[in-house]
Amino acid sequence: MRKGVMRPGHIQLRVLDMKEALGHYRDLLGLIEVETDAEGRVYLKGWTEVDKFSVVLREADEPGMDFVGYKVLNNDVLDQLQKDLVEFGCNVEEIPAGELTGCGRRVRFDSPTGHMFEIYAEKEQTGKWGVSNVNPDAWPRGLTGMKATRFDHCLLYGDDIDGTLKLFCDVLGFDLAEQVLDENGDRVAQFLTASMKAHDVAFIKHPEKGKFHHASFFLDTWEDVLRAADLISMEDVSLDIGPTRHGLTHGKTIYFFDPSGNRTEVFCGGDYHYPDHEPVTWTTDQLGKAIFYHDRVLNERFLTALT
């Protein structure tokens, strides 16, 4: 049952070199650089995103994800969910408004898979970049690279995915849209949604806690994905796999790495989910097709290269 979580709102990633990272996220992906805060973190967004920022980059000596945040409907929802998270047993920390420039009070909590998440109700709304909210044109001139439209979701690897499923579904009101079950009927992958999208966050079972697999950005068309692939070759960017299609969610996709080894996806399409839909199930004997629908074979790197 929905509990007032609207959408993925921001993700903070650690990078080894900020200048190189901006070459990836701003110049190649085509995100809009918004500002640099007093700590040196750089804020970016996709051009269609109404809120001020969705990606925060922090320079550090270990790449990976600091946290991913979800926006909730209002402060009443935030207060209620904060209580529910404490009751569930999460370690909950309140981050004051303004710690991320332009973002209101955040409630940060840990999870059984070892990842840090946040919810918040308020963020400065600067509007879509380069288009008006009144009689808007189709798209703005001046976009660069892949012209990524928005931060869409992330995929995380961790051990207790059952515990994190319970947290996201029972406390935060996400639905299980798609899953992979092994021969014993145990879930080894789960795709969760707070919306109509096939996934707003996904988890794959893995022995280590707190690992980051990829951050994903939405493109409108398959032609845009192919053009992204061209740019990846033109710039000699580290490619993982693609362009291809997933069986899971049926998204059309390409995976590549930022200069610090954090994986990025750009994709288009994908299935939709309503709250009354039963989860879509793939079985591990068809895992190759589930992950890479065309190759039907997993590459080891997709399972092993994590930050």
Partner 1 sequence: MSTQTVETDIKVHRIQVVNRNQEYLCRDDKSLLVGMELQNTQAIEVGCRGGGCGMCKIRILDGEFEKKRMSRAHVSEAEEGEGFALACRILPRGDMVIESDHFEPAQ
Q: Which residues bind partner 1 (CB under 8 A)?
A: 16-17, 61-64, 206-208, 238, 240, 257-263, 301, 304-307
CB atoms within 10 A of CB 45: 23
Residue in 10, 24, 213, 214 annotated catalytic: 214
Contact of 190 with 161, CB cutoff 8 Å: yes
Distance CA 215, CA 273 (A): 21
Residue in 10, 199, 206, 273 annotated catalytic: 199
Nearer to partner 1, 63 or 247 (CB): 63
Residues in the chain: 307
Residue in 49, 118, 178, 265 annotated catalytic: 265
Place of tokens 């399409």: 269
Whether residue 214 lies in the annotated active site = yes
Amino acid in the structure at residue 230: D
Whether residue 265 lies in the annotated active site = yes
Within 8 A by CB and 6+ apart from 290, the residues are 180, 246, 247, 248, 282
Distance CA 252, CA 179 (A): 18
CB 15 to partner 1: min, Å: 9
CB 283 to partner 1: min, Å: 24
Whether residue 10 lies in the annotated active site = no
CB 240 to partner 1: min, Å: 8
Whether residue 206 lies in the annotated active site = no
Nearer to partner 1, 66 or 84 (CB): 66
Residue in 10, 24, 115, 153 annotated catalytic: 153
Nearer to partner 1, 259 or 270 (CB): 259
Whether residue 246 lies in the annotated active site = yes
Nearer to partner 1, 180 or 306 (CB): 306
207 class by beta-carbon count within 10 Å (0-12 exposed, 13-18 middle, 19+ buried)? exposed
Please give the positions annotated as active site: 153, 199, 214, 246, 255, 265
